[in-house]
Amino acid sequence: NAGVMQNPRHLVRRRGQEARLRCSPMKGHSHVYWYRQLPEEGLKFMVYLQKENIIDESGMPKERFSAEFPKEGPSILRIQQVVRGDSAAYFCASSLRGGDLTEAFFGQGTRLTVV
């Protein structure tokens, strides 16, 4: 039973390029969450999605960032026109349920470096 799978593990982009981060949740999980860990900072919530729906995007930067979780396939976090400040580790988590029974399981993360 594979865990949460993220790819790529490491991604290097030049300023102005687009970054696409993928996350496949654990089997049977329909709730996906994205978090960002900036250097020397803690983990910060970005967005919570269920299949085809964005439930809570209160942590997403207003511009350049978007996320989706289509009916088929992985969840995608997309960062357009990347800047050096986007360099961070991006973690995806999934859960079987929402609400008070929610236990989140995290992937290994994608480490984005913007040069």
Partner 1 sequence: KQEVTQIPAALSVPEGENLVLNCSFTDSAIYNLQWFRQDPGKGLTSLLLIQSSQREQTSGRLNASLDKSSGRSTLYIAASQPGDSATYLCAVRPIGGTSYGKLTFGQGTILTVHP
Antiparallel, parallel or unpaired: β 43-50 and 5-7: unpaired
Q: Is 85 helix (H, G, I), strand (E, B) or coil?
A: helix
Which listed residue (91, 94, 112, 114) binds partner 1 by CB under 8 A?
91
Piece of 20-28, 50-58, 60-68, 69-77 that binds partner 1 (CB under 8 A): 50-58
Q: Restricting to residues 56-85, name those near partner 1 by CB under 8 A.
A: 56, 58-59
Residue 115 near partner 1 by CB under 8 A: no
Binding partner 1 by CB under 8 A: which of 23, 24, 33, 77?
Answer: 33
5 sits near partner 1 (criterion: CB under 8 A): no
Is-contact 63 81, C-beta < 8 A?
Answer: no
Q: Does the CA dihedral 94-99-101-103 come out positive or negative?
A: positive
Q: Where are the beta strands (DSSP E) in 57-109?
A: 65-68, 75-79, 88-95, 105-106
How big is the CA angle at 101 (ends 95 and 106), to the nearest 5 degrees? 30
* Binder of partner 1 out of 14, 28, 39, 42 (CB under 8 A): 42
Could you tell me where the DSSP H helices lie in the chain?
none
Contact stretch for partner 1 (CB under 8 A) within 13-21, 54-62, 67-75, 79-87: 54-62
Binding site for partner 1 (CB under 8 A): 4, 6, 31, 33, 35, 42-45, 48, 55-56, 58-59, 91, 93, 98-109, 111
